[in-house]
Amino acid sequence: MHKPLAALAVLAIALAHPAPAQDLAAFEKKVSVKTLANGLTVLVCERPEAPVFSFFTHVDVGGDREVPGITGLAHMFEHMAFKGTDRIGTKDYAKEKAALEAVESAYAAYDVERRRSVGRDDGKVAELEKAWKDRIAEADAHVVQNEFGEIVEREGGVGLNAFTNSDETGYFFSFPANRLELWAYLESERYLKPVMREFYKERDVVHEERRMRTESQPIGRLIEQFLAAAFTAHPYGQPVVGWPSDLTTFSASDAAEFHAKYYVPSNMTVAVVGDVKAALVHPLVETYFGRLPKAPKPPPLRTVEPPQKAEREVVIHDAAQPFYVEGYHRPGFDHPDDAVYDVIQDLMSSGRTSRLYRSLVRDKKIAAAAAGFGGFPGVKYPGLFAFFGVPTPGHTPEEIQAAIRAEIERVKTEDVSDAELETVKTRTRANLIRRLDSNQGLAVQLGTYQARSGDWRELFRDVAEIQAVTKADVRRVANEAFVDQNRTVAMIQSTQMAKAPGSGGTR
């Protein structure tokens, strides 16, 4: 948790700056938060700009709760949340339910046999596989394809989508303002009565997503290896999309079990922003989301990444062009130094005045882009602060590494200038305002802060805390984090490196 007193003190400092019209006080008047009896948190922000609204459902589970064998399951369930309910997406649910149970039994039998390492009977595997596929065909006969998405889109919904990352799962879309009750129905129903229909086809779809984002992209391949090397114990080392073995093995029953454990109201936050009245939204949410059965919030994750003892390095030799990234372990979002990392990120990476741009892109011309970013792959737990550079033709990962290290060294040994620090702080304040200009953006941000920190006001306090960061903080944190044994390096060494055009080679 944040330190409330310190936060208030710095908030006072921040407010001494020319006060933007959209500050915390302005939002206090528009935002209301309620917790239902079943533990679900609801946030409403009234923004009557146009007769539309957006929402964001935050579920406090991501790849973080996956263990070997079920990696990718949080993301898989996210896909299943679009497959409908016992009343949406089915021609006859009673029959479909029985058919789906038959699919599960058939799959269990097939899965046991095909993965038998000793005495596997291939004939029997084929037979069981056919039986399983036949059951799937029977179950599919009851399906009304994509009816959930069809209702949303037909009723004027836009931006229907969702995401899963290492920390959390989020669902969102926008509706015309007169569909508020329909929204409350649809959004609660998909978590109340999800049906694992077409699960195994969707598992193939997710596997295609893995092939597209990870396997068939050089940087996707590298990042997977980078994280696997950087984390030895914590689930941050696992790919959110899942390992191929798990993606071809886990079952609809596994997904249903995962849902039952983590999709409990005490683990969920819903934010609604737009042309709505809190006085109308809260009772509607009570009526519809109040149906979710009460259950305790899952206990916190046990595993903590142990301190790194030695530098690690991953090198992929690939026909693709070179790429460089290095990461250092850093604490999670709830650590008092979080704001200092934000300042370092901004200083190193924001815009053309940033140090990495000026050194690597502008002056040395060895990179087309270079930046450092905190909170990778997540912020809920201690993660990485990472730096990357995209070499220009003829330049190598080693040159990027040397140049990044020189800039890191500068932050460790020289105070950042007053002007630079002031620019970072001003920019952070201006960018906060820019983040408040859309219903969907606000719903995601307010919802995420409410869920993560227990208070949406942290969105503003985070910026206030950045105002209080000193030069000494920056140096101290850089010296603590950016040390050799805390580092993991990953790079693509190109087997077909592009020559520098115009010079016939490197200068």
Partner 1 sequence: MTRRATWGVLAVAALVAPALASGQAKDWREIQKPPLAAFTPQQPKRIVLPNGLVIFLQEDHELPLVRGTARIRGGSREEPAAKVGLVGVYGQVWRTGGTKRLTGDQLDDDLEARGARVETGGGLDSTFASWDCLKESFDLVFATWVDLVRNPEFREDKIAVAKNQINTGIARRNDDASQIAGREARRLGYGKDSPYARVAEYASVAAVTRDDLVAWHTASVHPNNLILGVVGDFDSKAMEAALRKALVSWPRGPAAPRLAAAVGEAQPGVYFVPKDDVTQSQIRMVHAGIRRDSPDYFALEVMNEILGGGFSSRLVSSIRSKKGLAYSVGGGVGAAFDHPGLFQLSMGTKSGSTAAAIDALYEEVDNLVRAPATADELARAKDAILNSFVFNFDTKQEVMAERMLYEFYGYPLDFLERYRAGIEKVTTDDVARVARAHVHKDKLALLVVGKAPDFDRPLAGFGPVATLDIAIPEGAPAAQAASGSTPEGRALLAKVAEAMGGRAKLQSVRSVRQKASMRMKTPQGDMSIDAESLLVFPDKQRQQLRTPMGEMTNVVSPEASFVSMPMGTRDMPASQKENALKELRTNPIALAQRADDAAVSVRAAGSEKIGEVEARILELSVEGSDVRWFVDATNGRILRTTSHTMGPAGPAEQTLDYSDWRMVDGVAFAFKRTIKRNGEDAGAIELSEVTINPDVDPKLFEKPR
Residues 313-342 that bind partner 1 (CB under 8 A): 318-321
Question: Beta strands of 65-176 (E only): which ranges?
Answer: 158-164, 169-176
- Cβ within 8 Å of residue 134, ≥6 positions away: 106
Alpha-carbon span 7 to 319, nearest angstrom:
50
Sole residue written with tokens 């090397």: 229
Question: Between residue 21 and residue 40, which ones bind partner 1 under the rule CB under 8 A?
Answer: 21-22
Name which of 332 and 393 has its Cβ closer to partner 1. 393
**Nearest residue (CB) to partner 1, 367 versus 379:** 367
CA proximity to 73, closest of 84, 63, 82, 83? 63
Footprint on residues 214-233 left by partner 1 (CB under 8 A): 215-218
Q: Which stretch binds partner 1 (CB under 8 A): 255-263, 373-381, 421-429, 443-451?
A: 421-429
Among 4, 20, 68, 336, binds partner 1 (CB under 8 A): 20
Neighbours of 424 (CB within 10 A): 23
Looking at the DSSP bridge assignments, the partners of residue 471 are none
Q: Answer yes or no whether residue 409 interacts with partner 1 by CB under 8 A.
A: no
What are the start-end ranges of the H helices in 215-295? 218-230, 244-247, 252-262, 278-289
Contact stretch for partner 1 (CB under 8 A) within 27-35, 116-124, 335-343, 348-356 = 348-356
Question: Of residues 112, 280, 315, 472, which one binds partner 1 by CB under 8 A?
Answer: 280
Q: Among 141, 212, 304, 315, indicate the residue that binds partner 1 (CB under 8 A).
A: 212
The interface mask with partner 1, positions 237-276, x = CB under 8 A, is ----------------------------------------
Residue that is written with structure tokens 């200083």 in the block: 347
Considering beta carbons, is residue 203 or 461 the nearer one to partner 1? 203
35, 105, 232, 431: which one binds partner 1 (CB under 8 A): 431
Q: Classify burial at 191, counting beta carbons within 10 Å of its beta carbon; exposed 0-12, middle 13-18, buried 19 or more.
A: buried
Nearer to partner 1, 83 or 380 (CB): 83
Residue 337's SS3 state is coil
Q: Which of residues 142-161 bind partner 1 (CB under 8 A)?
A: 145-158, 160
46 counts as binding partner 1 under rule CB under 8 A: no
DSSP-based three-state secondary structure for 146:
coil
Among 38, 225, 438, 453, binds partner 1 (CB under 8 A): 438
Judged by CB under 8 A, which of 237, 327, 383, 391 binds partner 1? Answer: 391
Question: Within a 10 A sphere around the Cβ of 364, how many other Cβ atoms?
Answer: 17
Q: Which is nearer to partner 1, 9 or 162 (CB)?
A: 162
**Number of amino acids touching partner 1 (CB under 8 A):** 104
- By CB under 8 A, tell whether 361 contacts partner 1: yes
Q: Contact at 8 Å (CB) between 96 and 262? A: no
37 by Cβ neighbours in 10 Å (0-12 / 13-18 / 19+) ranks as exposed
Query: By CB under 8 A, is residue 288 in contact with partner 1?
Result: yes
| CA pair distance 94, 83, nearest whole angstrom | 17
Q: Select the residue interacting with partner 1 from 225, 248, 353, 396 (CB under 8 A).
A: 353
Residue with tokens 């005495």: 119
According to DSSP, the β-strands at 268-274 and 41-46 are parallel
Residue numbers 443-472 binding partner 1 by CB under 8 A: none
In the complex, minimum distance from the CB of residue 395 to partner 1, in angstroms, rounded to a whole number:
9
Among 423, 450, 467, 486, binds partner 1 (CB under 8 A): 423
C-alpha 63/C-alpha 56 separation (Å) is: 19
Edge to edge, the sheet with strand 41-46 lists 31-35, 41-46, 268-274, 52-59, 169-176, 158-164
Q: Which of 30, 34, 193, 291 binds partner 1 (CB under 8 A)?
A: 291
- Applying CB under 8 A, which part among 55-63, 225-233, 254-262, 282-290 lies near partner 1? 282-290
Q: Binding of partner 1 at residue 349 (CB under 8 A)?
A: no
